[in-house]
Amino acid sequence: MYRTRIAAGVLAAAAVATATTACSGDDEPDKGKAAAATASSAPSASSSSPSSDQPFGPGCSAVPASGKGSFSGMSTDPVATAASNNPVLSTLVSAVKQAGLVDTLNSAKNITVFAPTNDAFKKIPKSTLDKVMSDKKTLTGILTYHVVGQPIAPSGLSSGDFKTLNGAMLKTSGSGESFTIGESAPVICGNVHTANATVYIIDSVLMPPK
């Protein structure tokens, strides 16, 4: 029996936008208004927690700025379709198609997907990955371990224990904009929205328990 670290759950991807804080020590009304206007249009580097409706994380910069694969473009498509338009998730999309899960993921309602990047799959030896990709049952078990049948906001990841579509439980931990899925899969771009899912892009493939 081989332990696979392949992944996926279906994905999509995310926009970088950081919570902002206006800061002014001047009491003059006009300058106060100017400071507020500047704060509302520029992200703040001191933000300690993500906005409830915006993507966050260092990996968000890899998401296209426009088009179907951008955050706004993905928000109008169901998750599997949205992921297929994002170049950083092409390996995951191939795995989802190989397992025959495209329709299942696209038709699901209000789910959360932990989506491994192409680089996450590259961490798996090619011979192991090829073997898993050709075994539909094993592949399906791994991919469904990346999907939770309910929406999860960033705050819900701080100390979570969720039942996946695989049937196994998946723990999450962290705070602010730093979260870990399972034992060692950091979220690199979180809170990405598609038409039917919340997506957290991760840099490792999750392996379901035996």
Q: Is a pLDDT exceeding 50 seen at residue 3?
A: no
Phi/psi of residue 187, nearest 5 degrees: -80, 125
Q: How far apart are CA 189 and CA 200, in angstroms?
A: 6
Q: Is a pLDDT exceeding 60 seen at residue 170?
A: yes
pLDDT at 210: 82
pTM: 0.76
35-39 contacts at long range (C-beta below 8 A, 24 or more positions apart)? none
**For residues 157-165, average pLDDT:** 97
Q: Choose between 16 and 89: higher pLDDT.
A: 89
Q: How far apart are CA 92 and CA 29, in angstroms?
A: 52
Mean pLDDT of the chain: 82
Q: Is a pLDDT exceeding 60 seen at residue 2?
A: no
What residues does CATH 2.30.180.10 cover in the chain?
Answer: 54-202
**For residues 179-198, average pLDDT:** 97
Domain 54-202 superfamily per CATH: FAS1 domain (2.30.180.10)
Q: Choose between 33 and 172: higher pLDDT.
A: 172
Q: How far apart are CA 198 and CA 109, in angstroms?
A: 10
How confident is the model over 18-76, as pLDDT tens digits?
333 333 444 444 444 433 333 333 333 333 445 458 999 999 998 989 999 999 999 99
Q: Is a pLDDT exceeding 90 seen at residue 199?
A: yes
